[in-house]
Structure 1
Amino acid sequence: MDTNGPLIAYYDALCPICRMEMNRYARHGDHIIRLHDCNGDLPDDVDREAALAALHVRLPDGRVETGWKAFIAIWERVPGWRWLALLTRPAPIRIPLDVLYRWLAPYRPRQKCRDGVCDV
């Protein structure tokens, strides 16, 4: 996995939990991660419904990772979080965590409207 250059995280900024977590990573700088609200404009290769269903991350080489692999891509780069990437990368751990994440994600809290996003 390419760890040179920033990631772009497509996340649900209407979710207070998602916002808090992504801001925690983003405070390490734009050279590591850039945040992109998936409620706004998206590139053609990122589907809004899929991005709302699970975290999407664009790697520096242009590939897009989703779900638990997206979290691993973030943790590999953010200081102090690499241990979590190493711990959860093996398939016997990653796959059940991804299934659990995708099952729980639809139940996250979401604001109804913010900054005119209600039409999305």
Structure 2
Amino acid sequence: MNPSAVLTVYFDGSCPLCKREIALYRRLPEAVNLAWVDVSLDQALGPALTCQAAMARFHVRHSDGRLVSGAAAFSDLWRCFSGWRWLGVISARPPLAGLFEVAYQLFLPVRPLLQRSLRRWDRQSHSL
């Protein structure tokens, strides 16, 4: 972990979809300023965040300890990357912030289906 991190990003490393997305962010130059915590490793995550909550919904923690989840957490993360900053800014402003959160909540029930599909695809592509 990076103790001087601007943001701590909690992600589900057991999720093939999440792993792909986080790998994309971690390749960006600004990623060195962030701490990356795989919540699937069942470790202490700090105040007000359990592994169960972190597995169910995306979270980030600011250096001041403030915990943010859902679409707002993605907005905060995107603002850390120069190429994504514009999306972080517009997704945090009303009324788009509310729309992004609704879209995120609609995505959550679909996530397990996408995870299963990606796992199946990964198994098939590795067996070729």
* Structure with greater Cα Rg: 2
Paired residue for 2:104? Answer: 101
Report % sequence identity: 32
1:52 to 37, 42, 55: 55
Paired residue for 1:85? Answer: 88
Summarize the Cα distance change of 1:38–1:59 in structure 2 as closer, same or farther, 3 Å threshold.
same
What secondary structure sits across from 1:39 in the alignment? helix
The structure where helix makes up a greater share of residues is: 2
In structure 2, how many angstroms separate the alpha carbons of the residues matched to 1:38 and 1:106? 19
In structure 2, how many angstroms separate the alpha carbons of the residues matched to 1:29 and 1:84? 16
2:68 to 56, 65, 68: 65
User: Any conservation in 2 of the 1:68–1:98 contact (CA below 8 Å)?
Assistant: yes
In structure 1, how many angstroms separate the alpha carbons of the residues matched to 2:25 and 2:110? 22
Report the AA paired with residue 32 of structure 2.
H
Unpaired segments ≥5 residues, structure 1 = 112-120
Summarize the Cα distance change of 1:5–1:34 in structure 2 as closer, same or farther, 3 Å threshold.
closer
Paired residue for 1:115? Answer: none
Shift of 1:44: 4.2
- Specify which structure has the bigger relative contact order, considering alpha-carbon pairs within 8 angstroms and separated by 6 or more residues: 1
Shift of 1:7: 1.2
- Residues 51-109 of structure 1: CA deviation (Å, up to 9, x unaligned): 12211001111111101111111111112000101221112111121122123123221
TM-score (norm 2): 0.73
Paired residue for 1:23? Answer: 23
Report the AA paired with residue 18 of structure 1.
C
Q: Considering only aligned residues, what root-mean-square deviation do their CA atoms show, in Å?
A: 2.0
Q: How many residues align?
A: 108
What secondary structure sits across from 1:86 in the alignment? helix
Summarize the Cα distance change of 1:16–1:61 in structure 2 as closer, same or farther, 3 Å threshold.
same
In structure 1, how many angstroms separate the alpha carbons of the residues matched to 2:6 and 2:30? 9
Unpaired segments ≥5 residues, structure 2 = 120-128
Summarize the Cα distance change of 1:90–1:44 in structure 2 as closer, same or farther, 3 Å threshold.
closer
